[in-house]
Amino acid sequence: MISSFPKLLNATLITLKLLSVSLIVGLILGILFSIMRINKNLIINKLAYGYSYFFRGTPLLVQIFIIYFGLGQLEFIRSSFLWIFLKEPYWCAIIAFSLNTGAYTSEILRSAFETIKPGLIEAGKSLGIQSKIIFFKIQIPIAIRQSLPAYGNEIILMLKGTSLASTVTLMDLTGVAKYIISTTFKPIEVFIVAGGIYLFLTFLIHNLIKFLEKKYSF
Amino acid sequence: MELLAFGKTGWGDELFIATLMTLAVSITAILIGFLFALIFTPLKLSKNKILNLIANCYTTVIRGVPELLVIYLFFFGGSGAVMYVASIFGYNDYIEINAFITGSFAIGIISGAYSTEVFRGAIQSIDKGQFEASKVLGLKKPIHFFKVIMPQMLRLAIPNLSNVWQITLKDTSLISVTGLVEIMRQSYIAAGSTRDPLFFYSFAAVLYLLLTFLSMKFINRLEIKYSKGY
């Protein structure tokens, strides 16, 4: 049980790397698509809705497999510069996670934008503030505060989601745990250690979000 | 489309059976989850601190640990645990548990943690007067629970339970790692033998979308049914 600890800690670094990169990319995607969702143009709106519907309606495992096993089948992708990324399981996992968390983030932000009282925007308008400034200085700060609790949940879901990287040969925390279990046949001990690490990370994220909520509350 | 033909030439019938398997596992798992919720929700609401702690441990651990890790625990540890229990009763032969049972049990325990939270939230948001009123009227406990609390709780819980159902349905894809032939596993087999992973995994995605879409329609109907009178 103790001998497996350093190996699992090493693997935790990979899990954290996967998590942080895909959260950053996912956040950017989420912001883009949530702005598309509140757009009044029907085509743009439906496009963003389709994106989030697909990624929220299918299992993450399917998404990873499509990107890792599926895309390599296409000749034009293999000959393009994209192949540099798509041949590596690491980047495939990150692309899948980013697209997935981007879809959930866009929904969280959209509902946050929708809960902003129209009076606030109207007040800004009647004060003669430019609509760009209204968006960046009024809508975005309120939306961020509104969406913090839900986004915290999303980070924890994504932390658990990164465990799927082990299905495309990446040795993240779950991958290493599975490897140790299948070689030593001590499922319970390994589960306690690996599960403990995940719980500790969840605990940290939970408290970080709580701290941010307090800091930005009004 | 030839790849999806029914019969020996295509994968249509295999994928159809696999879809039924996914549905069967999801339904079994969510029912097992309800059973767990039935046990742990009262513990969560109880005033006894130890019982409370047990229930909190269950929901926190399960919701904080990746589903895949729980499945591996059951997959590798399940038959060992059953054999250990059997050996107490003097049965020492090797016991292999079927992948369907391990899988639905693992997913069931996960979905039970989510259901517990949903039921707890629903019961807590019922007006306190309802509890007091049925006490004052001297209703017996079962009647109080099934006729007063349960209908109100269901109305509040159904929208969130539909989320739990979606999570459960999507989690069943993870059971494919144990070799149970559901949508994901069947697509993996088909992709391997036809060398057309893009098509089969995309088709799997379509199947999952179809399942989530249809079940949402069904749940919306239930929601309307249980919100009658409001």
Q: Interface pTM (ipTM) of the complex?
A: 0.86
DSSP string, B56-75: HHHHHHHHHS-HHHHHHHHH
Backbone φ and ψ for B80, nearest 5 degrees, come out as: -60, -45
Q: Is the dihedral of CA A93, A99, A104, A106 positive or negative?
A: positive
pLDDT tens digits for range A87-136:
889 999 999 999 999 999 999 999 998 888 888 889 988 999 888 898 88
The full set of domain ranges for chain B reads 10-226
On whether any CB of chain B is under 8 Å from the CB of A200, the answer is no
pLDDT confidence band for A143 (50 / 70 / 90): confident
Q: What is the pLDDT of residue B54?
A: 94
CB pairs under 8 A between A and B: 113
Q: What is the pLDDT of residue B40?
A: 94
Q: Which CATH superfamily is domain B10-226 in?
A: MetI-like (1.10.3720.10)
Q: A5-215 adopts what CATH topology?
A: MetI-like fold (1.10.3720)
The full set of domain ranges for chain A reads 5-215
Compute the distance between CA of residue B22 and CA of residue B18 in angstroms, rounded to an integer.
6
Cβ-contact A19, A205 below 8 angstroms: no
Which residues in chain B touch residue A74, judged by CB atoms under 8 angstroms apart? 198
Specify the pTM.
0.88
pLDDT tens digits for range A6-39:
889 989 999 999 999 999 999 999 999 998 988 8
Q: What is the pLDDT of residue B229?
A: 67
Compute the distance between CA of residue A157 and CA of residue A97 in angstroms, rounded to an integer.
11
- A 151-180 residues inside an 8 A Cβ radius of B: 156, 159-164, 166-167, 174, 177-178
Compute the distance between CA of residue B174 and CA of residue A43 in angstroms, rounded to an integer.
35
As given in the structure block, the two tokens for residue A19 are 């998590």
**Higher confidence at residue A39 or residue A159?**
A159
Predicted confidence (pLDDT) at residue B82 exceeds the cutoff of 90: no
pLDDT confidence band for A73 (50 / 70 / 90): confident
On whether any CB of chain B is under 8 Å from the CB of A12, the answer is no
CA A17 to chain centre: 12
Give me the count of residues in chain B.
230
Distance from CA of B190 to the nearest CA of A (A): 13
Residue of B56, B60, B69 for testing the chain A interface, max A β-carbons within 10 Å? B69
